[in-house]
Amino acid sequence: MISIHCSKPGEIHLKGKIFYTNGSWEIKEVDFMTSMNVPAFRNLYHGPDFITFLSKVNNGNIIFSSVSPISAPILKLYNTSNNEVQNLGEGISPVYIPEKDLLIYMKAKKPYGTKGEGSLYIGSLAHLNDSKLICKKSNGDSSLRMTLMYRPVVSIGGERVVFCGLNEIVTEYNYTNGEIKQTDIQGLYPLIWRQRSNELLCCDKKEENFSMIEWTSKKRRTIDLGNLVYDGFVYIQDEDLLLFTTEMGETLNLNCYDFKNSTVRKFLPNTYMLDGIYFPADSIN
């Protein structure tokens, strides 16, 4: 079992901002660019429905899913500088591809967290009404908690995304040539992509563990993130750190896994992150 260390002030150096939601109606900000090297917390946006799944656009802009128990999810574009919000249309789990100005997202006919099927779409952010259907995707898990445990669509570079498709088979989609192919990986849910090792972090809900899959060989290795890991998987590429929410006693903490030495540290105590994104300082106006 992995041991959990507490990070001391200044021990983990980030120069940027984390935008995140705790599953309520708000988007929150953690600013690490302070003069005292102490993170500053701020509430930004308060919406009418639950907020899930954030995707980075540019200059601090965010696309997020606004979900309701009585209607289909809505995609919204949020400007963190001036708090302006623009409705983009129905959808959930957005993944923005800045090099192509493409948005890959899901649509669900039923309210989020209910049994049914979703469909995967791709379109230009500027012309989302002209999006085309990629494929239909099963979503048979009625548990909102287990549904939010994984990010349905993950960008893996090389003009490809992966998702857990029909029969829980991890499926790869090339958004340039439109090729869709199933892999031999089944029962695992993609979470984040680690480019430097060409690996995909996945969650095995049945075994309740986490694996790294080297994408060329499909070789699998288990990593230990500790007990009672929940949500909020954010990979910070420059620092090679993985942030995630975990439970310790009666409190929820934001921990970090350092890929460089395979250690877990308590990063931000008493902080619950359902989903989030990290903007380095040089990517924010």
Q: What is the pLDDT of residue 150?
A: 54
CATH class given for the domain over 149-223: mainly beta
pTM of the predicted structure, to 2 decimals: 0.86
**pLDDT tens per residue, range 234-251:** 999 999 999 999 887 778
Across 255-270, average pLDDT:
91
pLDDT given for residue 35 in this prediction: 67
pLDDT for residue 139? 47
| Residue 232: band (very low, low, confident or very high) from pLDDT cuts 50, 70, 90 | confident
Kindly list the strands in the beta sheet with 127-139, ordered across the sheet, starting from the edge strand earlier in the chain.
92-97, 102-108, 116-124, 127-139
Domain boundaries, the chain: 18-47+232-285, 61-136, 149-223
Report the C-alpha gap between 8 and 19 in whole angstroms: 22
Q: What is the pLDDT of residue 112?
A: 53
Per-residue pLDDT of 33-74, as tens digits, reads 886 678 899 999 998 899 988 999 987 899 999 988 888 889
Average pLDDT over residues 162-189: 89
pLDDT at 5: 41
CA distance between the termini of the chain: 42
Q: Are 67 and 92 in contact (CB under 8 A)?
A: yes
- Cβ pair 205, 169 in contact under 8 A: no
